[in-house]
Each structure stands twice: as C-alpha cells, then as structure tokens.
Structure 1
Amino acid sequence: MRQSAPKFVGALVTAWVACVSAAYAQTPWPSKPIRLVVPFPAGGFVDAVARQIQPQLQTALGQTVVIDNRGGAGGTLGASEVARSQPDGHTILLVFDSYALYPLTYLKLNFDVARDLVPVTQIASNPLILLTHAKVQAKDLETFVKLLKSEPGRVNYASVGVGSSNHLTAELFQSATATTMTHVPYRGGGPAQQDLVGGHIETMFLSASLALPHVKAGALNAIAQTGAKRSVALPDVPTVAERGYPGFEVNSWVGMLAPAGTPRDVIDRLHSEVRKILGDPKFAARLEEQGLVG
C-alpha cells in the first residue's frame, strides 16, 4: 500500500532530523576555537587566572582558546551572555566567588544562576590582602584600625563591585573591628588596583596574586591577609585572625561554568583536563608563587 504524501514527507523529515542529530553527536569536540569569557576587565583576579591556564588548556584540547573580557555590572553581563550562548562547549565562563551571591545582591537578573549555567570545576583560590597606599600613615593592622576609629568614614576602600568578595570582606572587617570606611565600587580588579597604586583610593582587600607584585615593588603596604594561615607568597604578612580577631577568614576563588545543556561528555572532558593541568607539580608551584592554590 502506498503511503499518502503527508505521511511520506513526514517520514523523510524524521529521517533527516535523525541523520543530522547523529552527525552532530558524532562531531568531535572541540571543533573550533573556544571562547573563554572573563566577565571583568583585564588585570583583575579572574583575568589573571584565565591567562595562567589558557596556554595549558589550548595544548590539552588541541584547539585555540580565546580570552574574551566582558566586564560590567559586577560580572553579571558576561555571565548573562554565556548563559544565552549555544551549549556546544565552545563558550565557557570563568567566575569570581561573588557569582554565588548574585541572587542576593541583584534584584533583577536576566538569567538564573542555578538553572542556566552549570559548574565545570573550581580552578584556584587565594586569600585577600588588606593593602594601603603609601600616603596612609599605617604600616600594620593595629595602627590602621586606630586610624579608622579616629576618623570614621574618611578612608575610602575599593572593590570590584557590590556583593564582590572585596566588598563583603571589607564589610566583615569593619564589623569585626568596629570601624567605618566608605565604599567605592569599580567595574573590575584592574581599574581598582590602578587607582589604589595611583593614590586615588586609600585601601582595598585585593587577591594575593594581584597584590604580590605591588607589595614587592614597594608601591603598596600589605597590612594583613584574610586566610586561616599566612600565604607562602607573603610569609611576613600576618593574618587578621592572629592580630586579635580570631575566626576572621576569607578566601577568594575562581571557577569554570558552561551553559546549561552542554553535553555531559564535554563537561567531563573540560573538568578532567583542568584537573590534570592543576595537578602538574610545575604548574601548581607557579600558582603557589603567586599566592594561588589550585
């Protein structure tokens, strides 16, 4: 019996879709350059981590990895763009720890943090360093706290945006020390640290990896660090806890995410390759020299 025209056409379409789907599933990944989105301007903590891992990731995947800085709105603009991108494994995102707080710090987001992006792996973490410009007459934590108490609100501190770890750590610090500072949010760590070095802002909690060069060059004073123990990269800088504020501990981290719907085998491959890179003793030692832990 002959099939009717509509049924025949429907059968052809079904067969065509099945063939295309099978071909797509068999396409090796990655099949084109990978866009690694950093949702902050160049020069910040997330950007620094991206540039550390980019060459190794290119070698491991056999494909070009392009870093794309998409700063703005505390990292939400870049995250939103990746959330809406094709879930084929060729667009991935690096995020700061503030990502976990987006639902609490932003009243309106055009993407769902828990639904639209999926975790791949954590890449690095480090403590924050309390830094001051040379014009601030305080070389240690005790003197700095006394200064803040003597002039409440006069000292300005920078952050990479509302709800960022820099911001929340400074708020926690003020609560612990019963002091008051004025918050000045920036679009990213790069612009913030430039203004700190230039003396346009007095103080900031900055990730150890970014603080290290400025401290070694003598451009900034390292007052204290927020980890549970002293960083190997800055062994002479005491922790906030050991200077009279027990229990004070903050660590900043960078993680990798992908759009929801990215094939499971792609997520697993990305996770595996990044963990192999971080497990390389030479790479791990290089991170540690910069105050980072993989």
Structure 2
Amino acid sequence: MDKHRSPSPAVSTLKRCRTGAIALLAGMLACGTAAWAQAPGVYPSKSIRMVIPFTPGGSADILGRAMGHELTKAWGQSVVPENVAGAGGSIGADRVAKAAGDGYTLLMGHVGTLAITPSLYPKLPYDPVRSFTPIAWVARVPNVLVVHPTLPVTDLPSFIAYAKAHPDQINYSSGGNGSAAHMTMSYLAQQTGVRMQHVPYKGTAPAVNDLVAGQVQALFTGIPAVLAQLKAGQVKALAVSSPQRVAILPQVPTVAEAAVPGFEADQWYGIVGPAGMPKAVVEQLNAQINASLQSPAILERLQSEGAQPMPSSSQVFGELIAKDLERWRKVIQDSGMSL
C-alpha cells in the first residue's frame, strides 16, 4: 500500500465532522460562560444609572456623585450620574419609579422628593412608599440659614425682629416650589410669625448665585450648597437646623438654642430603587454603600461638606421615609400651603 496515498472520502468526511464538532463545542462553552456571567446573582455586571433629581451643584448632586464614585471604585462597574431636574425632584423620581427593578437604575432620594413633595402635589405619578425600594440611608445634612452681608442683621433673633418690622420685604430663594429649602424657611416663618417673599429657582445653584449677587436676601439650605460661599465671606450664617451644632460650623448656633425651642428641619439623602427589587440585590447594595460610608475618603468628603454619614439597614431607611412623610404632611396642613 502507498503510505502517501490521499485519505479516502469517508475519512476526510469524518475529520471534517470531528473538527466541526470541536468548534461547535467551543462555541457552546463560550455562550455558556457569557450566560453564566449575566446569570441572576452576579451583580453588578454592567453600568448603573444614578438619577439625581436636581440640577448640578446642589447637595444632592454633590453627595450623589461622591457616592457613585465610591461604588464605581468598589465594583469596577461605572455608576453614571444623571441629573433629571424639575417639579421638586418628582420628574427624576418618576423616571426611576417606572424603571425595571433590577438594580441598574437608582435614585439619590431626598427628604424633599420622598417626604415633602407628596403632600404638596397630591397627583404625583408615583407613591413615595409603594413605588420604591428603600436601599440605604446615606447622609444627614443640616440646613443653614444664610443671608446677604448687606442685610442689617447679626444673628437669628435680629433677623426675626427685622422680618417682623419689615413684613414681605425679605426675599428668600430656594431650589424650587416645594423644595426642602422652601419648606424649611416656611417652617421657620410659621414658627416665628414672620412674613417673607419666596423666590423659587430651578435648582439650588442659581438660588445660591442670586443670593451672592444680592438679588435675594436669604436662603435656608443644606450646608454643602453654600459652604464655599460661607468660607469666602460672600454670605453669613445665622443658624443651623440640626438639634446640635455642626462641627464644620461650630460658631453657628442652632435655631432651637437661638430663638425657636424644639425646631429641627435637617435634610437627608438616601438611595432607593424601583419597587420589586430582588432582596439579594438590595442587601448587596446596602452592604456596599454602608462599607463605602466608612471609607476614609468618603468620610472626609462628607464631613468636609457638613454632612453626617448614616450607615443603616434598608429597613431603618424605609422607616425614616414613612416617619418624615407624616411629619411634613402635618407641617404643610397646618400652614395651609398648596402648590
């Protein structure tokens, strides 16, 4: 037999089939690996959208981006911030409420969006409790009452006295109708019997800018939004809304100690997702957010902004939302305010 003779057609066919089977098996293994990588329980396997329901520059934006940066570092998957402003944060919140509950669309929730707005806008397209899954409380942010340096007041009692002597002559700004800044100043006015004119803006940043420019005389907002202006002497602080003084502004008294006993109106921020999120994903998000809140980088960032980290369970955060819903509903009803 000639050992160099070409293989028979049957042998060639067998070899081709064997080669094809190997290629098919390799393809099946590759597909199986890809499917495993996307299987339930492997989270996160792609980028996450973090909706911030306010304009850039405010406290929600500052804290949302800082937390997104920490989560990106921890997971190796991008947490992409997206500012969706309007209607006191309700437009961004509604977008998240309508998203898939798979953990890839999150909301930097805020006391205004989740606890105040529902009492001001009874026809909201979302329910602050049923439409969302509480994930983690991120931070508590005291509000600070700041005024333009030309306003002839030196402290909170003199501010109240001036406002009473000049009813409707102090214009105060806020990030919009129904925003936390609006409600906090309204709450102060309700408790002290003063009358002032509200000037709403489309976001906190323009509200701060016009205060610095002297177009308005006062603003009661989260410390992070005005800290740079305070340090630069462009505005002056009269009081903070927290039960105790704030470490970053130790010389500024609380509203309660200066003039209105029992007054408290801090802002808070936390992360929620759409309703129906898997428990395992919520637990993983909560654990990583709490871990990030303990990291030196995020602690320094939050504390430098006057924010207090609030690591807790998703249940505790849900209880906070429910409690403040009732609290602000009473404030709004007593004031007769409606939008």
* Alignment TM-score, normalising by the size of structure 1: 0.88
Q: Supply the AA of the counterpart residue of 2:43.
A: W
CA separation of 1:27 and 1:293: change in aligned 2, threshold 3 A: closer
Is contact 2:41-2:280 (8 Å) kept?
no
Q: 2:45 aligns with which of 12, 26, 31?
A: 31
Alignment of 1:12-23 (within 5 A): none
CA separation of 1:75 and 1:130: change in aligned 2, threshold 3 A: same
Q: 1:225 aligns with which of 240, 244, 258?
A: 240
Alignment of 1:40-59 (within 5 A): 40-59=54-73
**What is the CA-CA distance between 1:113 and the residue it aligns to?**
2.0
Q: 1:208 aligns with which of 216, 223, 229?
A: 223
Is contact 2:205-2:225 (8 Å) kept?
no
Q: 1:169 aligns with which of 184, 188, 192?
A: 184
Q: 1:260 aligns with which of 249, 268, 275?
A: 275
Q: Percent identity?
A: 38
Is contact 1:212-1:233 (8 Å) kept?
no
Q: 1:14 aligns to what? A: none
SS, match of residue 205 in structure 1: strand
**What is the CA-CA distance between 1:280 and the residue it aligns to?**
2.3
Is contact 1:132-1:204 (8 Å) kept?
yes
Q: 2:325 aligns to what? A: none
Is contact 2:143-2:221 (8 Å) kept?
yes
Q: Give the gaps of 5 or more residues in structure 1.
A: 1-18
Deviates more, 1:60-69 or 1:107-116: 107-116
SS, match of residue 26 in structure 1: coil
Q: Deviations over 1:25-67 (max 9, x none)?
A: 4362212211100000000110010122222110112201111
Alignment of 1:27-106 (within 5 A): 28-98=42-112, 99-106=114-121
Is contact 2:142-2:267 (8 Å) kept?
yes
Deviates more, 1:217-226 or 1:156-165: 156-165
Measured in 2, the distance between the counterparts of 1:150 and 1:287 equals 39
Q: Deviations over 1:90-137 (max 9, x none)?
A: 110012101213321103112222222111011011211000012212
Measured in 1, the distance between the counterparts of 2:90 and 2:294 equals 30
Q: 1:3 aligns to what? A: none
Q: Supply the AA of the counterpart residue of 2:150.
A: K
Q: 1:277 aligns to what? A: 292
Q: Give the gaps of 5 or more residues in structure 2.
A: 1-31, 310-339
Is contact 1:105-1:162 (8 Å) kept?
no
Alignment of 1:58-207 (within 5 A): 58-98=72-112, 99-207=114-222
Ranges of 4+ aligned residues in structure 1 off by more than 3 Å:
22-27
Measured in 2, the distance between the counterparts of 1:158 and 1:199 equals 11
SS, match of residue 44 in structure 2: coil
Is contact 1:38-1:78 (8 Å) kept?
yes
Is contact 1:212-1:234 (8 Å) kept?
no
CA separation of 1:232 and 1:239: change in aligned 2, threshold 3 A: same
Q: 1:9 aligns to what? A: none
Is contact 2:70-2:298 (8 Å) kept?
no
Measured in 1, the distance between the counterparts of 2:298 and 2:106 equals 22
The alignment's C-alpha RMSD in Å is: 1.8
Is contact 1:232-1:289 (8 Å) kept?
no
